Amino acid sequence: LCVTVLGLLMQVLRDAAMIRMGVSERLIGCSEESSRRLGAAFSERKLSALCEICEKYIAAVNGNSNLTLCLNAVCADIRLCI
């Protein structure tokens, strides 16, 4: 479930970056409205950093890291990023 949620979040963040760059016809995420709001709120750099955080923790969870520690760490990393 954690990997699925992080994957969906990453898609929304990717769409937000695309919208910010003016490319909105190729959206892949589950919430266009959320992507538009995030695109308006964050710079491309922050959106990219947030995607990297998602990728990092997807890999960690898939690598059998402690799920509880990963969830706490991903929340902390996201909070520090924004």
Alpha-carbon span 20 to 13, nearest angstrom: 10
**Which amino acid, one-letter code, is at 12?**
V
Q: What is the pLDDT of residue 65?
A: 85
Alpha-carbon span 25 to 56, nearest angstrom: 27
Query: Which of 27, 26, 22, 25 is CA-nearest to residue 12?
Result: 27
Could you tell me the mean pLDDT of each successive run of 10 residues in the chain, 82 residues long?
92 92 80 90 95 95 90 95 90
Q: What is the pLDDT of residue 78?
A: 94
Helix axis angle, 2-20 to 32-41, nearest 10°: 60
DSSP state of 44: H
